[in-house]
Amino acid sequence: MKRGALLNAELSGLVAAMGHGDLLVIGDAGLPVSPGVRCIDLAVTGGVPGFFEVLDAVLSELVVKRSAAAVEADPDLIDHFSVRQIGMLERLPHDELKQVSKGARAIVRTGEFTPYANICLWSGVAF
């Protein structure tokens, strides 16, 4: 059994396969996933798993060079990003964030019901 925080086999494998500059999106339960974009659906019920639980597990294994979140997101939500290693955080209109997500290696769907609880993470390198 894997020892780290990220136990989901599909998500762990994706993180291991990501290269420099690849995009991974972690989204709330309502973020649309475009046809052809891989969806790792972790949602069980409202709030389970929560957005930040999933984000923290992913960040335990993924090097992030930059990120993006919606300008419409609640300021309290954005404040929670400041204590995480997500590189420079860009703010995009939600419609633009959805367009950007079409280029993701995958979108991870959480059970989060907080509006605009979505983040784009571009991978960096560990050296």
Annotated binding-site residue? 76: no
8-46: per-residue pLDDT in tens?
999 999 999 999 999 999 999 999 999 999 999 999 999
Domains of the chain: 23-113 (3.40.1650.10)
In whole angstroms, what is the distance from residue 90 CA to residue 107 CA? 18
Annotated binding-site residue? 80: no
Residue 74 tokens, joined: 């609640």
Phi, psi of 125 (to 5 degrees): -125, 155
Annotated binding-site residue? 73: no
45-93: per-residue pLDDT in tens?
999 999 999 999 999 999 999 999 999 999 999 999 989 999 999 999 9
Residue 12 tokens, joined: 């762990």
Active site includes 20?
Answer: yes
Considering 7, 13, 20, 95, which one is annotated as catalytic? 20
